[in-house]
Amino acid sequence: MRPSGVYSTDYIEDQAIWRTRVDYFWTVFFAVVALSLPLFSASGVFGELGVRFVPETLLGILTDGGILLISIVGLNLLLGYTGQISLGQAAFMMVGAYSSAVLTRQASIPFIFALPIAAVVTGLVGLVFGLASLRVKGFYLAMATLAAQFIIPWAISSYRGDFVRLGGDTGLTVDPARILGIELNTNLEEYYLVLVVAIVMWILARNMVRTRLGRAWIAIRDNDLAAEQLGINVFRYKVLAFFMSAIYAGVAGGLLAHVRRTISPAAFDITESIEMLGMLVIGGAGFPLGPLFGVAFFLFIERWFIDFARDILIDILPSILTFREREALEASLLAGLPPLLFGSFLAIFLIFQPRGLAYRWMIIQAAWRLRPFSKA
Amino acid sequence: MIISPLLHVDHISLSFGGIRAVQNLDFQVRPGEIFAIIGPNGAGKTSTINSISGFYRPQQGRIYFKGQDISDLPTYKRAPLGIARTFQNIALYTNMTALDNLMAARYIYMKSGLFSGAIYWDILKYLPQSLEERIRKVWQPAIWEEVENRHVVEEIIDFLEMAHVRKMPVGTLAYGLRKRVELGRALALEPELLLLDEPMAGMNVEEKEDMARFILDIHEQRNTTIVLIEHDVGLVMDIADRIVVLDFGQKIGEGTPEEISKDERVIEAYLGEQGA
């Protein structure tokens, strides 16, 4: 909903993403914050001058978050807009990561070309698994895409051929990203790399869903029979959605490889796929801001709330335990708490806010604009 | 003078297992007429419309549109030929706004794909006119196409008097308005043949009158040929040029409203005796 008193005088203005001064203000505000944040870390310009209130670990967390965000924006195109489920997003990221790693190190292609090539390769792999969407929907499609999640890591870890080296179960070491001869190997540089790519990818996705392509996707999600009778080639657009979604996974995977510098099949297992799906649902599938909210919430839970919860639990552990017992219990808390918490939050969201945080945010915005007449 | 028919349903038969929904049905729709299909429930009216729009494939017979055999054409290729339809149970894209529903129907007139769509190019509006034209010549970003089609869609929104709901998700609209949005979506395809499956079902008298007015206006202003299924016989007699009556999948009568209202078999099967 638009705030009262905002009028458009032409359709271009009416269709723009940023409509009001408030929109511009927040965009500029967050852009400035995101861009200047690393300058205040230890390796930043201001950090070297002594103004360092941003810990290096925060940059690392945000970099990981940005990579996740790219992948989930892709998943949002598929699940949120086209209504096709995929449980293979981590496997597609794996294809992107390995392609980019192999292309840069073994084929000596510069990173700036290797990343798009890796993305397209991933897209094609995604397209192949998307072919299943011709015949099946919903749960059955989920099972069909689950095949990707099992086949791809298995294939990569058991490949022993000579054409490329994939490193089997141990994986590969990857060179840092190199753009125009500059090696991006500090937290700060990686942060900027991921930030720029994530912003570009987000804007591209945002544009896709507000033009012909996106409306065709949404039409398929909302009513595929009607879409077909109104001239949309449903199968083609479903496969295209799988392709695009995998391209996003490919870019995310490629970045991940060059940021982490080591990749192995274990890092892309089904838990990752399901977590990404969960983040999208919590954030709000089918909303442009959904992935952002989802990732932010996940990072908040994973990097802060879990430590907080663990400390509380450890504090209230009965003191009669021996040191050994206590240590074992702490270790099991460390392993068991993240999935337990994430699972419970997902369940809570599915019950109380099934359309996700982004939807709640829209309601809050609408209520704010209707004040003082709103009830929410 | 023989006018070549716009639509020729040539002896089609459609059955689902043992149920013969449509049997050997044959009729022609002339360009520019309002053609009504009436009959009791289960007579095969919707099956006929579904066969024309491609949702069902008749086992026998052919369907010709503008002289072209469309019986084997994939469903999605029929809309670009000039066939549009509405559905008996509203089949809108519920989470889209009314405006986007109509824009989604402009799909067949638009070209932008992955790249031109993804880039969109908002910045162009800040460029001077001359530079803008030059960019447009080389490469067509989605923004122009969006605006051009928006004009067409806004005209339809104006015509159907739904400007006040254009930015509302259609899922939140009242039933009568949703029917109207659906009609608008079909109109956005700028069809030559408009198939309306019970456009007035479940409406009150006022809404029905509005809808009848819209149908007549569409017919007059856009010269669209309309095939209409409707149960309100009085209304059909008023607005239709010709009527075909179905019962148990078979045609039991065809003609002008006057002819139909005197037809013995039609009276027996559907209309009932006068004063009975």
Q: What is the pLDDT of residues B25-35, one digit of tens each?
A: 999 999 999 99
Least Cα separation, residue B257 to chain A (angstroms): 30
In a domain, A375, yes or no: no
The total of structural domains in chain A comes to 2
In a domain, A248, yes or no: yes
Least Cα separation, residue A229 to chain B (angstroms): 6
Domain boundary among A54, A78, A95: A54
- Is A355 within 8 Å of chain B by CB? no
Range A145-172 average pLDDT: 86
In a domain, A233, yes or no: yes
Residues A118 and A240 both lie in one domain: yes
In a domain, A189, yes or no: yes
Least Cα separation, residue B120 to chain A (angstroms): 6
User: Quick one: pLDDT at residue A2?
Assistant: 67
| Closest Cα in chain B to A2 | B167
Q: What is the pLDDT of residues A159-207, one digit of tens each?
A: 887 787 888 888 888 888 888 878 888 888 899 999 999 999 999 999 8
Query: Could you tell me which residues come within 8 angstroms of residue A277 by beta carbon, excluding any fewer than 6 positions away?
Result: A75, A79, A85, A87, A89
Tell me the three-class secondary structure of chain A, residue by residue: CCCCCCCCCCHHHHHCCCCCHHHHHHHHHHHHHHHHHHHHCCCCHHHHCCCCCCCHHHHHHHHHHHHHHHHHHHHHHHHHHCCCCCCCHHHHHHHHHHHHHHHHHCCCCCHHHHHHHHHHHHHHHHHHHHHHHHCCCHHHHHHHHHHHHHHHHHHHHCCCCCCCCCCCCCCEECCCEEECCEEECCHHHHHHHHHHHHHHHHHHHHHHHHCHHHHHHHHHHHCHHHHHHCCCCHHHHHHHHHHHHHHHHHHHHHHHHHHHCEECHHHHCHHHHHHHHHHHHHHCCCCCCHHHHHHHHHHHHHHHHHHHHHHHHHHCCCCCCCHHHHHHHHHHHHHHHHHHHHHHHHHHHHHHCCCCHHHHHHHHHHHHHHCCCCCC
* CA dist., res. A228 & res. A220, Å (int): 8
Q: What is the pLDDT of residues B90-149, one digit of tens each?
A: 899 999 999 999 999 998 888 877 777 777 767 666 777 777 777 776 776 777 788 889
Residues 275-314 of A with CB under 8 A from B: 286
Q: What is the pLDDT of residues B221-241, one digit of tens each?
A: 988 999 999 888 888 999 999
Name the nearest CA neighbour of A81 among A268, A219, A212. Answer: A219
User: Quick one: pLDDT at residue A134?
Assistant: 82
Question: Computed from CA positions of residues A218, A224, A230, A233, in that sequence, does the dihedral angle turn out positive or negative?
Answer: positive
Cβ-contact B88, B201 below 8 angstroms: yes
Hey, are the CB atoms on A232 and B150 less than 8 Å from each other? no
Hey, are the CB atoms on B54 and A229 less than 8 Å from each other? yes
Residues 231-260 of A with CB under 8 A from B: 231-234, 240, 244
Residues A100 and A241 both lie in one domain: yes
In a domain, A218, yes or no: yes
Is pLDDT at A75 greater than 90 in this prediction? yes
Most B-contacting residue of A211, A222, A232, A244 (CB-CB within 10 A), to test interface: A211
Residues A185 and A36 both lie in one domain: no
Reply yes or no: is the peptide bond before residue A3 cis, omega within 30 of 0. no
Name the nearest CA neighbour of B116 among B144, B149, B147, B141. Answer: B141
Nearest to B119 among A10, A207, A223 (CB): A207
Q: Report the complex ipTM.
A: 0.90
Tokens at A78, concatenated: 């598929």
- B113 neighbourhood in chain A, CB within 8 Å: 212-213
Hey, are the CB atoms on A212 and B118 less than 8 Å from each other? no
Residues A128 and A243 both lie in one domain: yes
Is pLDDT at A43 greater than 80 in this prediction? no
Least Cα separation, residue B270 to chain A (angstroms): 30
Question: Computed from CA positions of residues A107, A108, A109, A115, in that sequence, does the dihedral angle turn out positive or negative?
Answer: positive
Is pLDDT at A292 greater than 50 in this prediction? yes
Is pLDDT at B1 greater than 60 in this prediction? no
Range B192-211 average pLDDT: 90
CA dihedral B144, B148, B97, A220 (to 10 degrees): -70
Cβ-contact A334, A310 below 8 angstroms: yes
More confident residue, A363 or B1: A363
User: Quick one: pLDDT at residue A21?
Assistant: 81
In a domain, A93, yes or no: yes
Pairing relation of β-strands B7-16 and B19-29? antiparallel
Is pLDDT at B45 greater than 80 in this prediction? yes
User: Quick one: pLDDT at residue B152?
Assistant: 93
Residues A33 and A135 both lie in one domain: no
Domain boundary among A54, A78, A99: A54
In a domain, A180, yes or no: yes
User: Quick one: pLDDT at residue A230?
Assistant: 87
Least Cα separation, residue A259 to chain B (angstroms): 27
Residues A36 and A141 both lie in one domain: no
- Give the model's confidence band at A73: pLDDT under 50 very low, under 70 low, under 90 confident, else very high: very high
In a domain, A219, yes or no: yes
Most B-contacting residue of A10, A134, A222, A229 (CB-CB within 10 A), to test interface: A229
Residues A33 and A99 both lie in one domain: no
Is pLDDT at A376 greater than 60 in this prediction? no
The range of the structural domain enclosing residue A46 comes to 1-54
Q: What is the pLDDT of residues B58-69, one digit of tens each?
A: 999 999 999 899
Tokens at B58, concatenated: 């008749």
Range A52-61 average pLDDT: 84
Q: What is the pLDDT of residues A129-141, one digit of tens each?
A: 999 888 888 888 8
Mean confidence (pLDDT) of chain A: 88
- Is A134 within 8 Å of chain B by CB? no
Give CB contacts under 8 A, 24+ apart, made by A6-13: A10/B147, A11/B146, A11/B147, A11/B150, A11/B151, A11/B154, A12/B122, A12/B125, A12/B143, A12/B147, A13/B125
Pairing relation of β-strands B68-69 and B250-255? unpaired
Q: What is the pLDDT of residues A314-364, one digit of tens each?
A: 777 766 677 787 788 778 888 888 888 888 999 999 999 889 999 999 888
Which of A13-22, A91-100, A313-322, B14-23 has the lowest average pLDDT?
Answer: A313-322
Residues A44 and A34 both lie in one domain: yes
User: Quick one: pLDDT at residue B276?
Assistant: 45
Nearest to B91 among A2, A223, A232 (CB): A223
Residues A67 and A40 both lie in one domain: no
Give, in order, the Cα–Cα distances in Å from B203 to each of A10, A92, B233, B259: 36, 50, 15, 28
User: Quick one: pLDDT at residue A1?
Assistant: 61
Name the nearest CA neighbour of A261 among A186, A313, A344. Answer: A186
- B114 neighbourhood in chain A, CB within 8 Å: 208, 213, 240, 244
Residues A4 and A106 both lie in one domain: no
Nearest to B125 among A12, A204, A229 (CB): A12
Q: How many cross-chain Cβ pairs, A to B, lie less than 8 Å apart?
A: 123
Q: What is the pLDDT of residues A221-270, one digit of tens each?
A: 999 899 998 899 999 999 999 999 999 999 999 999 999 999 988 889 89
Most A-contacting residue of B49, B51, B78, B107 (CB-CB within 10 A), to test interface: B107
Hey, are the CB atoms on B150 and A207 less than 8 Å from each other? no
Residues A259 and A291 both lie in one domain: yes
Residues A211 and A104 both lie in one domain: yes
